[in-house]
Every structure is written in structure tokens, then in C-alpha cells.
Structure 1
Amino acid sequence: MSDLTDEELERLADVVRLQPTKNSELGDRWGMDSGSDVHGYLENHLQDYYYRDDDSLIRATSEAAELTGAEPGVVDDENDPNAVPERITVPELHAQVYRVLADHDERSESVVSVLNKLREEFGVDPEAGDVRRALQSLRRKNVVEVVYRTVPTFKLAVPREDVAVAVGDEA
């Protein structure tokens, strides 16, 4: 797994969704003043996950798409990056996490709580880090929210029935 921070993963997901893209487009999205700032960020933080095509447009590697779970070239609502998708395609563990996670109107829960529910409900025993990554991936898809208490806790951002979850290869 990568050692990217949450911010780096979010920005990498932007590269995946917006590709092929330009420095200026990413700069607008990331609140950066110049193409040089974007180029510097890409080189210093995401160097292994992007490249420039023959037209010098920025594209994400296939590994970037796998890491972020973002769909290449697809932005649900460019005007609202916080829009909730109607349908997501995720790996099986992510779908299981979505099914057991506290609903939007319930008290949020810790990674360990979700892990215990997965064990009880599905008889699986993933690593806590895999559960955390699944929750963060679902958060980046705007279907899970983080509530900061003593430790970060999670719950669905919308009613469970508002999002169709399909099992697929995306992360």
C-alpha cells in the first residue's frame, strides 16, 4: 500500500477523475496560484502516480486509479466536489464496510468497531489498516463522513438506501 497522506490521495483522485488535465485545471481545484505550484506538488508528492502524455497533458497511472478508487475521466459533479454519487463500484471489503457501518443518523463508530461488525456479520478478519483504507476510500466517494472524537470515527454520510453499491475491481 502507498504511504500517501489523505490530502495526497484526494488530490491524486482529482488527477484520475480529471485526466487528461492541465496544471491550471488542477490549480483551480486545489486553490494554487500558478502552474508552477501544481507542477512542484505533482513532482514532490505524486511523482510515481502521474505522467504527461504526448500533448503534455497530465494523466494518472493505473496504480493511481487503483489506490484512489476514482473513475478515470469521470467527475460526478464538477461544480460540487461534495456531491453524493447515486452508485459506486468498490471492492468486496469496501461494500461490506458500507453495509455494516453506522447509518447517517446513528452515532459514528471507530475502525475497531467496524472491524468487529465485519467479523460478526461476514465472518471475515481483515487487518485494521485495510478497514481504515476502505473507510477513507468511501469517505473520498462522499458516502462516509468522519466525526472526530478521541479517535476518528465514521458513519454513513447519507441514508444507506440512497447509494447503490456494486462490487467490482475499483478501490
Structure 2
Amino acid sequence: MIDTDELTGRNAEFADGGSFVGLGLMPSGSLTVIGCVDPRVDPSDVLALRLGEAAVIRNVGGRVTPATLRTLGMLSKVVRARTDGSRRGDVHYAVLHHTDCGITDLAAFPDLLADYFEVPAGDLDARAVTDPVAAVRVDVDVLKQGLPAGVFVSGLVYDVATGLIDVVVPPARVEA
């Protein structure tokens, strides 16, 4: 077990490195990644992101759910509060799913998944829970409907066996 003594020791090493000094609230790479909570698939590690370079939202399956969209809405209010109302440069949202995802085990629990996606159980097939490539396409489409025109959205699938990502949906601007 990793206990609090271990965590505070690790944190002291992190603090000694000073990599956090001078970081702003807005991601320097204008990137937000939506990924899974699976410990094998930390987006910062698998995408080699530096501290402060991207905002990362993680949930079960890395799915774009109504709760994810609400979180993004809240974050947009933070951006407006901390800036003149907009982010600088091109903004990119990347959906990152992965192979061998535990969400596929939840297919046996349709009522649970229906609650998660806030849809009737009969609509779950459209969420492509058991297919990460199809699920990325679904989630990119959902995300595009909830974002302002002009931002970029892409979809990636990480292979837990090879460590490589596949670009399923190349970055494209959301149209008005």
C-alpha cells in the first residue's frame, strides 16, 4: 500500500524539483484531454505531457458524458473569470480511449451504464461501450455538439499492449 508517509516523501522530491514554479492556471498547450481513470493510461504519461501543458479530465472509460460536458462548462467559466473571456491560440480537446478498458465489463450492467450516460438502457448500443474505436467516434461527435465553433477536437485510442496511440479522428475545427 502506498501510505501518506510515502506520498509526502514523493511530494517533497517533487517540490524540490521546482517544476511547478511559474505555472499558470491555463494549460500552456491549450489542450484538454478527456481520458480514462485506468492507472495504465495516465494521459500525461502516455502522451508525454509536461506539467501545466494540458488540462486532464478522467472518468470511467474516458467517456464524454453529460457530467463531462457540465465539467467543461464550468471550466469555461473559470477561463472567462481568469482572462478577457477567451483562451489564447487554438484550443484542442482530445478524447483518449484505450484497449482492454474496464468499462467493457460494465456492459453486463446496462442500468448502471444508462445512469452514467443519462440515457435509456435501450440507447446504450449507440454509445459503443465495448469498442474503443467506435466509442471515440461517438464521443468526439457528442463533444463537438457541446463546444463552441472554432475549437479543435480529435479522438485517439491507446493500445495498452504496445504503448502506442492511433489517431481515430484527426483534429478538426468545430463548425458553427
Of structures 1 and 2, the one scoring higher in RCO (CA 8 A, sep 6+) is: 1
TM-score, normalised to structure 2, is: 0.24
